[in-house]
Amino acid sequence: MNARQPYDQFLGAAALVDGRMRQREFIGLVACMMALTALSIGIMLPALPEVGAALGIAEANDRQSIIIVYLLAFAIGQLVFGRLSDLYGRKPVLLAGMTIFVGGSIAAALSFDEQSMLAARAVQGIGAAAPRVIAIALVRDRYVGREMARIMSLAMAVFFSIPVLAPTIGLGLLHAGTWRWIFDFLVVAGIGLSLWCLRLPETKRTFAAEPLTLMLALRGALGTRQTTGYAVAAGLMLGCVLAYISSAQQIFVDVFGLGELFPLAFAATAIMIAGASITNAMLISRVGVRMLSHASLASFVVIAAVFVLEAVFGPVGLWPFVAAMMILSLLFGFVAPNFNSLAMEPQGDNAGMAASVVGCVTTGIAALAGGVVGHLFDGTVLPLALGQLGLSVLAFLVVVWVEGPRGMAFARERRSPQSGIADKPCIATDATVHPTSTHALAELPPGPAFHVPPRPRTPQTKVAHAGRVPGANFGFLNAPVFRGSTVLFPTAEKFVNGDQPYVYGRKSTPTVRALEEAIAELEGGAACSLTGSGYQAVTTAIMAFVKSGDHILMVDTVYQPTREFCTGILAKFGVGTTYYDPLIGDGIARLVKPNTRLIFCESPGSQTFEVQDIRAISRVAAERGIWLLIDNTWASPLYFKPFEHGVDVSIQAATKYIGGHADAVLGSITCTAAAAKHVAKTKDLLGICPGSEEAYLGMRGLRTLPMRLAQHHLSAVRVAKWLEGRPEVARVLHPALPSHPQHHIWERDFLGASGLFSIVLKPASKEAVWAMIDGLTLFGIGFSWGGYESLIIPFDPTSYRTATTWSAEGPALRLHIGLEDVEELIADLEAGFERLAAASVKSPTSELMSFL
């Protein structure tokens, strides 16, 4: 091995990103894309007095607006370009952003007053947002975990070398010409980077399916505490650096009198960040991302506190100040790339939007915080010292909020060889290779298991790992099907005490319990009980909380068999039921009686899809001490989180999306800790016994739920929008459409939509509608939904609703959009509408459809 090989291996130089770009070039290009903003800021610092004099900006603190406006525009621009890159690909959107940046640089070079300069800098900032956010998305497209952090650290090392050079470059351009030459230089730099970007491989596959709405994409990006928290913490820490950058010229020149030596002093601090980033790339594989970043953040707080004491109790000299900034910059270099990686870690296909949101949050917070601290400059270093301490303390508190006090990693992260390598959420891993690979096994430390407190997991990770206990199943990944009634006890004492996990086949089996634990984890409840069907889950949950003489409030748009249970069974045993309008909100308080025991919700409503204000209803339930139950089948555990909205019991017809293959009948009841004991006791007393084979099929379906449900969402929205444009359709009842009356509630509370919705046709005869439905080749006619197949049924709720009146222009049809090709489904429906039109000519439209 020659002397060059270890370095090449460290950089991954031999690894091809695609057929023409090696990893070393990829890292360099990503670094330069990210560094464009650092260059645009740093190169301006020596020129601020000259620019201010030329454009009539008298106050030194006001000149900082040239930097702050750029950063704020840069923050906002990231939202646009990241989303566009998710839809249309990274490369074309990147080149469009570079074009905007070059145009803004030309406008800045030609500016003639403060307003024109700030406008040009805003355009520059918007354009520069594209290479920054797409650079992070490019890395996330190809890498995860520690490898992503390593690549980001190497890129950041180059990125942070720019602040070292930029002020010197700016000073040199000032000596050679005027301040306008700085923007000429940025024009050349932008064009050169654009040409280099032409070699970049496209890493984002575009989709023909209907894109997610911006709000939904934002929720996906900020849908985890980890992404939100680390983005905010990174912004606060970057604010510490921007506070220093925005006031550095005034501190070094006005306070310490360095004059033109200012770039050298500034470079001494900036170079520490670059050095830390290189060291960070080597350390993360040894000690872990969290340990390194958390320990560095804590150290930053301590050093910042010492710096404040020094600034308060005596004048700070040049070299103590430079030393403090060098240490803080070094620690920042260990925090910034790792916090960005941790924020991006839960994101997958949403990487572009996630990078946009993370970048916008990070830069926006940093620009505002750094701008405020910079404007407080009073001729001393005290405002900077206090600002850096305050911002770093806030960042520390945010990270504690993300990880929990016990989750802060100040010791080396370790894996447990007894854990099956990340089989349990409580074992922290940052492995970048597949858990079963020899590389991951080689990283395992010797000795006993070391427990690390659990970290927040995304739904995708939860469904892949929840309910898995290979150690109890001889190493097999999935819990096998346990068939049996008798369970033997080793001793009479254990039999009498019931002292073992399983005592009788009717009560539970390992197969059933595995799925119960997985659903409870995914929904966020304390416990889950499986039942033999979704309807059985509804009836069991209600009976768990009522007795003779009680009263319940039932939404009028509930699943029809639930209504029949209330009128046919509960009424027989003296339990009264009042049906309420699904849109009642907090007005439900008027219906509460002294003996009201529970409120039952189903949102969206069965067949007609009214979206309830669960937040408002839960407030009333909490104030009155009433149990709140919801049938959450439509949204599944992924797209509505009932326990975050004050619900006590969440019911799933697991037959639907959890099973997902139309081959198992199951139900689930997930509860808070207070409600769980009531449900468990009632289930046991009723002898409810879900089958192990059905539980096994439910677990199989659960593993692919995120991918299937995402496709159901995309296809259903695509079909629903197409149906809105059909002349035969009077209304489309889909909560994700802006035309839906409660779309604003859906957008506020839900994380997505499923494949089920309804349409109301314009007046048509029964024979015409029959002709439309019967001739469909891809849509089956049948009960249930949530499987891979598309379904359609007619419905008419007028005969059984009592608190509301169903008024429709014509016949109503409920559709479930399955996993077939969406364009073929549309073609099938289009042919159906042709049959509807042809049959309408033969049949009199006066015989309107009211036929169920």
Marked catalytic residue, from 494, 506, 547, 748: 506
| Cα within 13 Å of Cα(14), Cβ side | 7
CA distance 529 to 520: 9
406 part of the active site: no
Please list, in sequence order, all residues whose beta carbon lies within 8 angstroms of the beta carbon of residue 3, skipping any fewer than 6 positions away. none
| Cα within 13 Å of Cα(673), Cβ side | 0
CA distance 753 to 639: 7
219 phi/psi in degrees, rounded to 5:
-65, -35
Pair type for strands 527-531 and 667-671: antiparallel
Marked catalytic residue, from 656, 718, 814, 835: 656
Output the CA–CA distances (angstroms, integers) from residue 532 to 50, 184, 654, 685, in the order listed.
Answer: 78, 72, 9, 15
Contact 654, 538 (CB under 8 A): no
506 part of the active site: yes
Placement of tokens 């159901």 in the chain = 712
CA distance 617 to 562: 20
Q: State both tokens at 731.
A: 């209304």
828 part of the active site: no
CA distance 295 to 283: 13
Placement of tokens 């890498």 in the chain = 143
Give the three-state DSSP class for 274: helix
Cα 599 from chain centroid?
31
Cβ count near 297 (within 10 Å): 25
Q: Which residues on neighbouring strands pair with residue 667, listed in sequence order?
A: 531
Per DSSP (E only), the strands in 35-129 are: none
Contact 232, 392 (CB under 8 A): no
Contact 123, 103 (CB under 8 A): yes
502 part of the active site: no
Which strands, in side-by-side order, build the sheet including 649-652? 527-531, 667-671, 649-652, 627-631, 596-602, 551-555, 576-580
Contact 366, 242 (CB under 8 A): yes
CA distance 334 to 325: 14
Query: Which residue, 387, 409, 433, 386, is CA-closest to 338?
Result: 409
Alpha helices in 315-457 (DSSP H): 318-344, 351-375, 382-403, 438-442
Three-state SS sequence of 133-194 = HHHHHHHHHHCCHHHHHHHHHHHHHHHCCHHHHHHHHHHHHHHHCCCHHHHHHHHHHHHHHH
Marked catalytic residue, from 631, 731, 801, 835: 631
Contact 229, 342 (CB under 8 A): no
Query: Which residue, 365, 390, 370, 269, is CA-closest to 65?
Result: 370
Marked catalytic residue, from 535, 559, 639, 657: 559
Q: Which helix (H) or strand (E) holds 551?
A: strand 551-555
Q: State both tokens at 104.
A: 């803004």
CA distance 642 to 635: 10
In angstroms and rounded to an integer, the radius of gyration of the C-alpha atoms of the chain is 31
List the catalytic residues. 506, 559, 631, 656
